[in-house]
Amino acid sequence: MRYLKYKSIKQNDMKDCGAACIATILRQYKSNIPISKIRELSGTNELGTNVFGIVQCLNTFDFESKAIKADMSIFDDSTLPYPAIAHIIKDEMLLHFVVIHKVEKNHLLISDPAEGLVKISKQQFEEMWTNAIIFTLPKENYISLSENNNSLLDIMKILLLDKKLIFHIVVAAFTVTLLGIIASFYFQTLIDSIIPEGALTTLNVISLGIIFLYIFQSAFESIKAYLLAVLGNRMSIRLMLGYYNHVLLLSMNFFATRKTGEVISRFTDASKVVNALASSVLTIILDVTMLLLISLIMFFQNAKLFALTLIVIPFYCVIILVFVKKYDELNHKEMEDNSLLNSFIIESVNGIETIKAIQAESEASKKVDKLFINYIHSMFKTFKLDNIQTALKQILQLAVNTLILWSGAKLVIEGTLSVGQLMTFNMMVSYFSTPLQNIINLQPQLQTAKVAADRLGEIFTIKSELDENDSEKIIHEDIFKGVIELKNVSFNYPMQRECLSEINMKINFGEKVAIVGKSGSGKSTLAKLLVSHYECIEGKIKYNDYNIKDISKKNLRKNVTLIPQTTFFFSGSIYENLVFGLDREVTLEEVIHFCKIVCIHEHIESLPLGYSSFIEENAANFSGGQRQRLALARSLLRKSPIIIMDEATSSIDSYTEKKIIDNLMIIPSLTVIIIAHRLSILKECSHIYVMEQKKIVEQGTHLHLLQNQGTYYNLLGYSE
């Protein structure tokens, strides 16, 4: 308990360690900022967070920070400020950040985002440390900030949408319990009145009544279970589909900085939240009410025995408090391990062709074995903790039950309590303990749900790429039938080096232009800026003199279609895939027309079912060139006035590629921007931009650039 004042924020995913360390520092200084926002400000990507990003993020929150290289002697200086962030190598392979809270003579108290507060020896730390450390202190003008991040309470608002259904559940559950309480008095009446008096007629009537009462109780129990299932289904639909729909509206940067498994694992988290909230409906509303009602009945039955019954409550509270922190740690670990396992399984299935080509099946199997065993260990640790806590609760409850019977038997012997009253009270104890147990058992469920809700909340707090007023932005389509202009456009990904520098371009409507350059010169990044997947840091992109920031993103992407090198196809027919995403009716004749333009019609017609032929997931039953031609046909069907082809023909043979490009060149009302490495097809383009080292270094026609014998000339010579 001596370390209670030191904070520790857990990471949600493996790459969150840097962001979690920043969150820990902020929490230590009474600020509460969601990890999702810190990730964005620190430039966390698929590789994690770098030192520069951490320093810049802390500076954003009015901290003075300095990163240095040092050795262990630095910890002998008692004037240095803590907490500080250190960079380590964990498990001999993983780059990781931790927060150093306190330096003692032979030990360090650290906050490890993966494990929580840990006390380790200086020798252990030295073996892990990369010698990089960030010292930080709040500036004089620092003001603590707190952004609401109570994800579980926010999600609980979903329940309010079904108030009528919840009311019916409560009525059904209340009726079940009430009928059970009435039935418990049957034994008292039987033993204390009917049997001693030999009242056979009364026995028959009451017994038949009890049978009908049990029938009604079972009926209401079934109704309650049905209504709970309905409530759970409605919550699942709202939460899980709400999560999926929210993810669809996030920016490309979100997907570029997270693994697929991390996104998918949140669906499992959502089911845990739904289960916990569905249980809490009855517990919070009904069990508390029933507990109070039964307490009153038991008190009037026998105050002394009721007092003994209450002994269990403080002991339950102690058991809960002892296990709270450990449950939190284990739930975090289990969900993180599940996320890592899902991510690698998805990656290995998607990359199975590569795995087989390099004979890496054994390595992939070993990695999955390790990740799966880690996940099983995490689950088993949670199970053991739950098992221990359940056993303690059961021992406590059985001990109290025995104590009640012990004391009650004495009262019967003394003549102050009848046998029937003791049996009735003993049955009432079960009705008292059931709602009490339900309330107590909410603790592990709600803790699991809270961790899961926090992971979901991290995604929900990320703003959609569509502004709230996106529909109010410029939506008329005529602006895309004008000039595309880029003025001094510069761009860099968060906390990374510049990707584009002072790009200037002017493309007239209907023009066919090319952008060429070596790999890594910035061509694909430029294409993404033109469809607003990312926003330029400096400069302006204009469509017919309208700033791209003032144009509705939905309208922009409807009229400017980006065709990447690798496109995805869904399981279904060829026709279904080609018209996927279109908001208009498309005839087969129209589909055939565009398939002829991209030279794929003859192949489709040769298939047994033609355009009804089945496409496997991601068109695995088609060659790379055929997939690219299908992608081109799908994009042309959108009838966008502007298309951007980012290496969209790289897998097509030269002869077919030339025919496709020639077909596109003769479409007058279509602006085509071709990004390519293969330069032999670009001779017909009216203008060519040559990129090198993130800049446009040359521009002109094919012949003009050849005559200059510059970068374009060298690229062409190299390719030939």
Residue 561: name the closest of 535, 585, 530 by CA: 530
Residue 150 Cα distances to 328, 448, 601, angstroms: 15, 14, 55
The pLDDT of residue 567 is above 90: no
Number of other CB atoms surrounding residue 5 within 10 Å: 9
Nearest-angstrom CA–CA distance, 511 and 686: 7
Amino acid at 641: P
Q: How confident is the model at residue 153 (pLDDT cuts 50, 70, 90)?
A: low
The two domains 16-138 and 470-716 share their CATH topology (first three levels equal): no
Residue 603 Cα distances to 324, 455, 594, 625, angstroms: 63, 47, 14, 12
The structure's pTM equals 0.75
Nearest-angstrom CA–CA distance, 319 and 328: 15
Residue 57 falls in the annotated catalytic set: no
Question: Of 17, 57, 536, 595, which residue is the catalytic one?
Answer: 17
* Mean residue pLDDT across the chain: 84
Residue 130: name the closest of 159, 108, 98 by CA: 98
Its CATH class, for the domain covering 16-138, is alpha beta
The pLDDT of residue 18 is above 70: yes
Class of residue 275 by CB neighbours under 10 A (exposed 0-12, middle 13-18, buried 19+):
middle
Tens-place pLDDT, residues 256-303: 777 777 788 787 777 777 777 776 766 777 777 777 877 887 888 788
The pLDDT of residue 3 is above 70: no
CATH 3.40.50.300 fits 470-716, yes or no: yes
Tens-place pLDDT, residues 450-505: 777 777 877 888 888 876 666 667 667 788 988 999 999 999 887 777 889 999 99
The pLDDT of residue 398 is above 80: yes
Tell me, rounded to whole angstroms, the distance of Cα 26 from its chain centroid: 23
Domain boundaries, the chain: 16-138, 303-416, 470-716
The pLDDT of residue 188 is above 70: no
The mean-pLDDT minimum among 42-56, 350-364, 367-381, 541-555 falls in 350-364
Return the percentage of the chain with pLDDT > 70, whole number: 94
Q: Are 119 and 6 in contact (CB under 8 A)?
A: no
Three-state SS at 327: helix
Output the pLDDT for position 2: 46
Return the percentage of the chain with pLDDT > 90, whole number: 21
Concatenating the DSSP letter of every residue in 611-657 gives GGPEEPGGGTTS-HHHHHHHHHHHHHTTT-SEEEEESTTTTS-HHHH
The pLDDT of residue 597 is above 80: yes
